[in-house]
Amino acid sequence: MRFNEGIINRQFFYDEDYLVYLRHLKVAADTFDCKIHAYVLMTNHVHILVTPKTSDGISLLFQGTGRHYVPYINKTYVRQVSLWEGRHKSSVIEADNFLLSCMRYIELNPVRANMVSHPAEYKWSSYACNAQGVDNAIINPHELYLSLAATAKNQQHAYRTLFDLSINNNELDLIRSSLQSGTPIGNDKL
């Protein structure tokens, strides 16, 4: 499983832009057999927690999404620019100990950016699905998430309670530095 970040110039201006990106992300995830567990679309970057079936699945996921989204943006806003600033960054994570922390890191991004006071207020993330049970065709729950409780309602409740606690600074620093350097996120790092 990998935690990924794609940095782009500001390319989400209106609701339709986010929706178009999500449609292309869903098609690419299905096409390249990638299971998306969490995501957030910020105005200038995306965070995605994904388990690919193949070693090149993540690269193909980003390429497939961008192959359709970039022409949409350039045509819609009459531009001729590259949206992506280099290759996506990613880090392998140790799921047993860091999956839920990475999910929270992703879905709390708009809170850390002072865009909203709670992740439930930001509609361009997987929080509504993972914490509130809102249908989202993009999300494939990870086994660890499913093991939070026996029923979907109780899984959502258990997941919501994780947001009552802040991510400790050691985990936050570990996630950020691992993502920047491409090194694995695991217990031997703490």
Q: Read off the pLDDT of residues 32-79 as tens digits, 9 standing for 90 and up.
A: 999 999 999 998 889 999 999 999 999 999 999 989 998 998 898 887
Give the integer Cα–Cα distance in Å for 119 and 117: 7
Backbone φ, ψ for residue 182 (5° rounding): 80, 15
Give the integer Cα–Cα distance in Å for 41 and 6: 10
Q: Tokens for 118?
A: 């709670």
Give how many domains the chain has, as a whole number.
Answer: 2
Give the integer Cα–Cα distance in Å for 162 and 71: 39
Asked if residue 185 is part of any domain, the answer here is no
Give the residue from 52, 74, 90 where a domain finishes: 90
**Shared-domain flag, residues 112 and 143:** yes
The CATH number of the domain where 84 resides is what? 3.30.70.1290
pLDDT at res. 173: 86
Asked if residue 135 is part of any domain, the answer here is yes
Asked if residue 188 is part of any domain, the answer here is no
**Shared-domain flag, residues 125 and 137:** yes
Domain assignment of residue 107, given as a range: 94-180
Is residue 6 within 8 A of residue 179, CB to CB? The reply is no
Asked if residue 29 is part of any domain, the answer here is yes
DSSP annotation of 166 reads: P
**Shared-domain flag, residues 112 and 176:** yes
Give the residue from 90, 121, 138 where a domain finishes: 90
Give the residue from 90, 109, 129 where a domain finishes: 90
**Shared-domain flag, residues 106 and 134:** yes
Q: Can you list the positions of beta strands (E) in the chain?
A: 2-7, 34-41, 45-52, 89-92
**Shared-domain flag, residues 67 and 41:** yes
The residue with greater pLDDT, 4 or 139, is 139
**Shared-domain flag, residues 76 and 144:** no
**Shared-domain flag, residues 77 and 105:** no
Is residue 40 within 8 A of residue 110, CB to CB? The reply is yes
Predicted confidence (pLDDT) per residue in 1-39, tens digit:
544 544 445 678 899 999 999 999 999 999 999 999 999
The residues pairing with 30 across neighbouring beta strands, listed in sequence order, are none
Residue that the structure tokens 């193909």 belong to: 60
pLDDT at res. 85: 62
Cα→Cα distances 162→15, 93, 123, Å:
28, 19, 19
**Shared-domain flag, residues 67 and 108:** no
